[in-house]
Amino acid sequence: MAIKKKLISGKAEVDEYMLQLSHPYKQEVEQLRAIIAHANPLIMERVKWNSPSFYYLKDFAAFNLRARGYVQIIFIFYDGNMIEDASLLLGSWKDRREARFYGMDDISAKRPALEQLVNNWITLINKPNHN
């Protein structure tokens, strides 16, 4: 008799993924998930690109769990609309930026900038003629 696999998605899928994750920065990833999810109720979670990711109408951000020495989140921007925040975002790619978090103290220090980024990104996506 075959065992049926439960189909889950969204936050439940990410929760299951995190239960099985063995990672030196697992606690930091969980903290960052909570900050992003609570920054704006429109943000949703799922597993995409084999890691926890966030979206609202379009993909917003994903963890890169292969990074060493820090937690890396890649933020995606569309149609040339970029949010620049030197206190949080790194890189000069045309469609994305990254943020690095080196531990819980660093997460606490960058929390206000991360919450603001989430809300600024939602504002960008909701602009007329953006979608």
Query: Count of domains in the chain?
Result: 1
Contact at 8 Å (CB) between 65 and 101? no
Q: pTM for the whole thing?
A: 0.89
What CATH number is given to the structural domain containing 105?
3.90.1150
In a domain, 131, yes or no: no
pLDDT in tens, 74-84: 999 998 888 98
pLDDT at 2 (0 to 100)? 46
Q: Say if 102 falls within a structural domain.
A: yes
Res. 129: pLDDT tops 70: no
- What is residue 73's predicted lDDT score, i.e. its pLDDT? 98
Whether residue 19 is contained in a domain is answered as no
- Judged by DSSP in three states, 105 sits in helix
Q: Dihedral through CA 17, CA 22, CA 23, CA 29, nearest 10?
A: 30
Domain membership flag for residue 11: no
Question: Which residues form the domain of 71?
Answer: 26-126
Report pLDDT digits (tens) over 34-70: 999 999 999 999 999 899 999 999 999 999 999 999 9
> Which two tokens mark 1?
């008799």
In a domain, 78, yes or no: yes
Does 16 map to a domain? no
